[in-house]
Amino acid sequence: MPHSMLSFLDITPDSHFPLQNLPYGIFSRPGESARAGVAVGDWVLDLAVLEFGGFFDHPLLRGFAPFSQDSLNRFMGLGKPAWQVARRTIQELLAADNPLLRDDGELRGRAFHPRNQVLMHLPAHIGDYTDFYSSREHATNVGIMFRGRDNALMPNWLHLPVAYHGRASSIIPSGQDIHRPYGQLVEGSSTTPIFSPSRQMDFELEMGFFVGPGNDLGRPIAVDEAPNHIFGLVLVNDWSARDIQRWEYQPLGPFNAKNLATSISPWVVPLEALEPFRTPGPAQEPKPLTYLQSVGDWAYDIHLEVQLQSEMMDTPLTISRSNFRYLYWNMPQQLAHHTITGCNMRPGDLLASGTISGPEPDSYGSLLELTWRGERPIPLPTGEQRQFLADGDRVTMTGYCQGKGYKVGFGEVTARLLPPAG
């Protein structure tokens, strides 16, 4: 166990990255190769330096060099016992009453880098990406808009975690801006499409989890074993072109409306760091089939916010406050359902939650809902209004769990919407 949950580093109570968190990421400095680090306070702890120094000389980690890689895939694949060893080692090295790193000035000089002076990369080589549709409030809102209140939820929705396979190649790290996409869309009541830049660009407030050890083809992951396969969580903004989507989605669902970009935060918060914040999720009625019946509380009390800043605004405006605990289908259920056919998961695969909306209008997780399909524009302090995103708009999402005197946070995922390319 760690010596203390206090660090010799100066970490403020409102920091997202205390010793209770220690999220993993992949970073680089100018002229240097990318490798693994941990965010702690305002610093990045260089795990490759510690690895080279022999601090991870443990049978579960020895010989794998997981932190000298340009992705976390190898570390993710080592499994929960190895993750626990690494986490305990890092916590002990950072503890206020442990002199090993605290009093070694030369080592500290090589091992710590100011967090605002490093370049963050995607944390994993993402082989596959699946996006769920697990918020009942979101699914109901969208259903009411397009099918009416009596047919808001499709017949299957309360029986299985609905999802679609997304495009892994267009997943990008926070800070990388995106262009408004071109596509087919229809105007008004027309049934003849035009080719045009999307006029209804939207964000989607989501979270995602990375798979650790996978499963062999043909061997499902049981719902009660699923938590051992979940490495950690990130913030997700799954950009959406609503007008392109409305024309294309029948009969096979999202395609070009979603494949343009999916932004994720760079720091992966370990599932273990979220353990104190587990909470009951929504009651599931009807009772799911046996293979989806998870035991215990698998929702998490993660406060989420979305901020919007136009080019005319000096500071961003918070337009949504939601919470991860609102999700109807939890992560073990999502993973179990994904693999019930025998589908094989691999380290670094990303599974996203789908838009997270709460019960109140200010907790909706998309502009489609916040403006109710554009019927209720959002007023901005500059006198502007937004039904959907305008070119130059910046969307920033953040999230954290509030502990007693500390936060376990996710940092942020941010990007601007640029005009169409070309």
DSSP assignment string, 362-421:
GG-SSHHHHTTTTTSPEE-TTS-EESSPPTT-EEEEEEEEE-SS-EEEEEEEEEEEEPPP
* 305 sits in which H/E element: strand 303-309
Q: Which two structure tokens, joined as six digits, stand for 132?
A: 């769920």
* Nearest alpha-carbon partner for 298 in 206, 358, 365, 209: 209
What SS3 class is residue 260?
coil
From the candidates 113, 138, 229, 337, which is the catalytic residue?
Answer: 138
DSSP annotation of 268 reads B
Query: In degrees, to the nearest 5, what angle opens at C-alpha 268 toward C-alphas 263 and 273?
Result: 140
Cα 143–chain centre separation: 24
Q: List 299's β-bridge partners, or say none.
A: 279
* HSE-CB of 63 using CA atoms within 13 angstroms: 2
Question: Do residues 207 and 326 make contact, with C-beta atoms less than 8 angstroms apart?
Answer: no
Q: Which two structure tokens, joined as six digits, stand for 290?
A: 């046996």
CA dihedral 217, 221, 227, 231 (to 10 degrees): 10
DSSP annotation of 153 reads S
Q: Is 121 marked active-site? A: no
What SS3 class is residue 53?
coil
Question: Do residues 419 and 410 make contact, with C-beta atoms less than 8 angstroms apart?
Answer: no
Question: Do residues 223 and 194 make contact, with C-beta atoms less than 8 angstroms apart?
Answer: no
Q: State the chain's maximal CA–CA distance in angstroms.
A: 72
> What positions carry a catalytic annotation?
138
